[in-house]
Structure 1
């Protein structure tokens, strides 16, 4: 972190600023604070980039961030796009970039490299399934958060249906990590991200740029015709990196295949790796308030007066509306980083920002609008009041939730035909038919987690949380449905429900099926069988009334 400078604003979009945390090709990234005391990263376009193409690129960036859901990226909080200065706010989680930790502590050991490869392959798989390519994966765009890595800086990412902004004769990416087909044809593919993954892991394993240093032209020449530098790397790591670094994109290994190959070698995951934990723990605490930032020398004492959300502090603006997205809810972090090949320098392309966060595994298809109304601030407790299906309260998610824990037995308040027929589609990664959630505003910050690759075993872990703030006394329950068409015994209904569980802050509620569904009032938990299972998440009021809030699913192989 760096102190604020005289030219920096006191607040952006009503969020007070605590420090500078990075700079990218188009703007500055600040550490900010919400009214609830949560840290966020705010990216602001530089005034001299206020041109039609720069603004179009930034709008596309915001749309991409809002579009993607992944546990390997941070969630969008808000954006201001009506008038300069244009800004984007995302969750912030402190942690070094991969580039920083390798530069400071040296290459990662082989086992850690394998786990990092598995985690990043999983992240690419999730964003590719949502129709988005990252297009600038490199060590500087991988944040090592305590609970796992995050992909950051989707500034040049492009989703399906989005217009490409790159001018003729230019290409997006970072030399040494950009794929050959991007340089030759200016046409990135999902497999292009896999090539960038190869360079990223090669750097993690050796501590050296994957295609050497020097002039950009020399790096590109080696990328097109040379071999990736794996000298001294562990043979197994080198083997997998080479599969990712094939010149022909059709010959590269897919993220799905990587995950299958690494299923045993990745073990319990990167967050439990001893070397990884050593590198990401013990970070200095962040200032919890403007006063703390003043004490730490990050904010000048004479610049502590910050206007509220209506005034926007020194910027004098209001919180701008969010850009509409193809999918409702959370999305990927966008901090710092390069925006075009012409902004390339040494290393892996700039320092970028250093903010990240934990987000959902997949979309929670509920039929909620992807265009949040109003400002880009954080929804407060009970925010919303979206109209629901028949029987939905429509009075905000916090309504009726006070007064202690609800009974174990639930009374479903939306027993419609659509609710009964709803099931998760493995092909579309959404639940069909779509339902309106109890509170659309609150649902936009909902995060769910379930296996994203075909699962095997006798149990499966499921989880849910609200990524930013949870209304008080908010209880949730899950209903797990067997695959459609499954032949089950008379002792079970095919839809087992958990008991209600309290959501606290942004903590996850974690359940295990069938263990947490084997109780007298569950409806009967059926053993895991082959097929696509559906998870329906419910908000349970104090009187036991349960309302639909989201849907997810998983496949058993």
Structure 2
């Protein structure tokens, strides 16, 4: 998440958390990047004094109690809170990374394989929420953070207990995000069921795959009419064909026609495994891709390594002959990973034209590593390929030579030096 400097009217600390910057704001309050006395980063949400009343305090206290209840690796965990303070606040785990909406708007839609991984991951996270008898009710791209340990769900401010018909919402009003809201929520049906979160997740996955939501209109009333009209089908334009049946089912007008979150996980898993991958492998590729999208990789390369040829992102059905690794990448390892979440490799004009990457601030070039028997063998194997006519990519990729392994290590160090944490 991007932060901006504190303004003069911002407090220096809240509830013992030192405030370092602003993360974002909404109609109800401000979210800060904070740090606990022990140095733990946190997202500190504070209600604006201008909106603090008995109703807002009650809603905020409900959010705190819900955050105490929900758990799981895909939920940003509650650290501390005080709903009775003059300015009510809560602090949750800080997730270093953009939300899905910002990522797609900056880097474009995700490849279909990564959308399936995202769908399985978030659906499983929602399953844990539903097991507690809770509904999120406001799942949208902005409420999914793409962190270094995978995506996480945030903002349970509108969450409710699934079987409850009680509400803090005034009569004849609807709270939520209309473009991701299922018809029954838009029309005020109570009680709601877990199907509302399935619908919202379908809208999120459609956005991840295409960059647009199921319904879009300039007028809020027109948008509500489209959402609630059974004859108005969701816009699946641009969705990969293999995802269309799942998305269409999740966005069904009738709640009973939608799959459960467990079925969403199973269908995503089946589609991933049909491509010869394990779901855990696809999840690691998703994390690698979103932590450092392929557009950012060239900035980590030295100036002389600027003639890289990046293959276009393949469709989900594209396959390569390269063996799949079960090891999770700790960080973007080099310019190897392409927009295809690692299925293709970024090639240089020659594996031996790559120089050592200088550590930040070092003016003298690093001394070349001593030649080894493995280096000599690599050169001997590469020699016939380097004699090929220009215009053809070498068959040997960056990751397969000893020189490349050293370059990859330097790239990891350069990336670590630039990381926020």
Whether these two folds match at TM > 0.5 is yes
Pick which of 152-161 and 19-28 moved more: 152-161
State the alpha-carbon separation in 2 of the partners of residues 196 and 180 from structure 1: 11
State the alpha-carbon separation in 2 of the partners of residues 248 and 270 from structure 1: 34
Q: 1:274 aligns with which of 263, 285, 307?
A: 285
1:28 counterpart residue number: 30
Output the aligned Cα RMSD. Answer: 1.9
The DSSP-based 3-state class of the residue aligned with 1:31 is strand
Q: 2:226 aligns with which of 222, 229, 235?
A: 222
1:192 counterpart residue number: 196
Alpha-carbon offset, residue 268 of structure 1 = 3.1
Gaps of 5+ in 1: 283-557
State the alpha-carbon separation in 2 of the partners of residues 24 and 146 from structure 1: 25
1:367 counterpart residue number: none
Q: Is 2:25 the counterpart of 1:2? A: no
Alpha-carbon offset, residue 261 of structure 1 = 2.1
Deviations 1:339-371 (A, max 9, x none): xxxxxxxxxxxxxxxxxxxxxxxxxxxxxxxxx
Higher relative contact order (CA 8 A, sep 6+): 1
Equivalent residues of 1:145, 1:280 under 8 A apart = yes
State the alpha-carbon separation in 2 of the partners of residues 54 and 186 from structure 1: 23
2:243 counterpart residue number: 237
1:262 counterpart residue number: 268
1:132-531 maps to which residues of 2 (within 5 A)? 132-159=134-161, 163-187=166-190, 188-225=192-229, 226-266=232-272, 267-269=278-280, 272-274=283-285, 276-281=287-292
Alpha-carbon offset, residue 146 of structure 1 = 1.8
State the alpha-carbon separation in 2 of the partners of residues 77 and 270 from structure 1: 31
State the alpha-carbon separation in 2 of the partners of residues 278 and 213 from structure 1: 31
The DSSP-based 3-state class of the residue aligned with 1:66 is helix
Q: 1:46 aligns with which of 45, 48, 57?
A: 48
Pick which of 112-121 and 178-187 moved more: 178-187
The DSSP-based 3-state class of the residue aligned with 1:242 is helix
Q: Rate the CA distance shift 1:176–1:82 in 2: closer, same or farther, 3 A.
A: closer
Alpha-carbon offset, residue 24 of structure 1 = 2.3
- Which structure's residues are more often helix, by fraction? 2
Alpha-carbon offset, residue 81 of structure 1 = 2.3
1:386 counterpart residue number: none
Task: Provide TM-score, normalisation by structure 2.
Answer: 0.64
Deviations 1:255-283 (A, max 9, x none): 1112222223343337744354132238x
Task: Provide TM-score, normalisation by structure 1.
Answer: 0.49
The DSSP-based 3-state class of the residue aligned with 1:264 is helix
Alpha-carbon offset, residue 161 of structure 1 = 7.4
2:103 counterpart residue number: 101
Deviations 1:60-97 (A, max 9, x none): 11111111112111111111123311110111121111
The DSSP-based 3-state class of the residue aligned with 1:90 is strand
Deviations 1:139-170 (A, max 9, x none): 11111112211111101111257741011101
Q: Rate the CA distance shift 1:84–1:97 in 2: closer, same or farther, 3 A.
A: same
State the alpha-carbon separation in 2 of the partners of residues 32 and 97 from structure 1: 18
Q: How many correspondences in the alignment? A: 283
- Which structure's residues are more often strand, by fraction? 1
Q: Rate the CA distance shift 1:176–1:71 in 2: closer, same or farther, 3 A.
A: same
Alpha-carbon offset, residue 213 of structure 1 = 3.1
Gaps of 5+ in 2: 273-277, 294-421
2:312 counterpart residue number: none
The DSSP-based 3-state class of the residue aligned with 1:265 is helix
State the alpha-carbon separation in 2 of the partners of residues 129 and 181 from structure 1: 21
Deviations 1:109-161 (A, max 9, x none): 11111111111111111100111100001111111112211111101111257
